[in-house]
Amino acid sequence: MRAFAFDAYKQPLHEVDVPEPVVGTQDVLIEIAATAVNQLDDKIREGEFKAILPYKAPLVLGHDVAGTVVRTGSQVQGFAAGDLVFSRPRDHRIGTFAERIAVDQADVAPAPTSITLAEAASLPLVALTAWQVLVVRGNVQPGQKVLIHAGAGGVGSIAIQLAKHLGAHVATTASGKNADFVRDLGADVVIDYRTQDFAAELSGYDLVLDSLGGENLEKSLQVLRSGGKVVGISGPPDPAFAKKAGLNPVVRLAVAGLSGKIRRQAKKLGISYEFLFMEASGEQLRKIAALVDNGTLRPVVGRTFPFDETPQAVDSLTKGGSRGKTVVTVP
């Protein structure tokens, strides 16, 4: 079976021939019609997450999938051959840069019926991230104020739409050329990050979704009201994540140190910082699919690459400038 993998950290992605997936009793075997590339793919290849998400190379990358069920394990219920589905396979079972993949049924959902499979493939990781920040961690309520950084990107373009659906007043950062685009998604306030300082112009916010980290994360603390929260998806990881991930005591101590500064700054301001590493969930994907089919959410596909050009699709992430997600179609 054709797939794209890397042989060691920091080594390039290249085509390989791998065995057909082993289908367990709880698994759904999916013929992949499309996948999508994410910053997470490149960060794993670069070894940035090896302390908290260790993988053995060679590793087939890929975290998003949409396609057709080929067959199911003996204990699978609710899926049958021929079903159109989408998924973000759980960690340590990734590998959607391939022709087929076996996914635990708990991570799979029927694909939205109102969009193409290529569009469906753009959604799982970013839509689940937005859902888990805004609904699960943020508990966003009507009338609250939410700041979403990088609104034209993969996570941001979905998070803006979801936050508006939840009734929030939404601010976002974007380049000037994308201002009208993010307003069309639902943003009430657009800050041009190249010419404006969001920390000087925004205040009294209930929640910030930070996808950039570093200085941007520290400045985000300044726009929150007392009791507000910033959820970072780029890091640094926090002790709660380390405990939930079951990391060993030494790594947990190191993780605590990584986020110590930002957590102390937040506590001093009477607010909180949390790190989110998105979790797979077929149940949440079903809710997301319903929002797509009723017109609440629309996928944003900026670029599409053929399967043969999967490495180029991943490389395109470092160049930036593309709206929404970059999708790879599999013949």
For the stretch 211-239, pLDDT in tens is 999 999 999 999 999 999 999 999 899 98
Mean per-residue pLDDT, 109-136: 98
pLDDT of residue 3: 98
Question: At residue 139, does pLDDT exceed 80?
Answer: yes
For the stretch 151-200, pLDDT in tens is 999 999 999 999 999 999 999 999 999 999 999 999 999 999 999 999 99
Q: Residue 150: what are its φ and ψ, rounded to 5°?
A: 55, 55
Question: Given pLDDT bands bounded at 50, 70 and 90, which one contains residue 244?
Answer: confident
pLDDT of residue 213: 93
Question: Given pLDDT bands bounded at 50, 70 and 90, which one contains residue 263?
Answer: very high
Mean per-residue pLDDT, 286-310: 98
For the stretch 4-21, pLDDT in tens is 999 999 999 999 999 999
Question: At residue 321, does pLDDT exceed 90?
Answer: no
Where along the chain do the CATH 3.40.50.720 domains lie?
A: 126-275
Do residues 85 and 58 touch, judged by C-beta distance below 8 A? no
**Least trusted range by pLDDT, from 38-52, 96-110, 118-132:** 38-52
pLDDT of residue 246: 84
Q: What average pLDDT does the chain have? A: 96
CA distance 138 to 254: 26
Residue 8, classed as helix, strand or coil, is coil
Superfamily of domain 126-275: NAD(P)-binding Rossmann-like Domain (3.40.50.720)
Question: At residue 89, does pLDDT exceed 90?
Answer: yes
Where along the chain do the CATH 3.90.180.10 domains lie?
A: 2-122+300-329
Question: Given pLDDT bands bounded at 50, 70 and 90, which one contains residue 255?
Answer: confident
Superfamily of domain 2-122+300-329: Medium-chain alcohol dehydrogenases, catalytic domain (3.90.180.10)
Residue 192 CB partners (closer than 8 Å, separation 6+): 173, 174, 175, 176, 179
The residue type at 148: I
Question: Given pLDDT bands bounded at 50, 70 and 90, which one contains residue 50?
Answer: confident
Question: At residue 308, does pLDDT exceed 90?
Answer: yes
Degrees (nearest 5) of the Cα angle 276, 64, 61?
Answer: 90
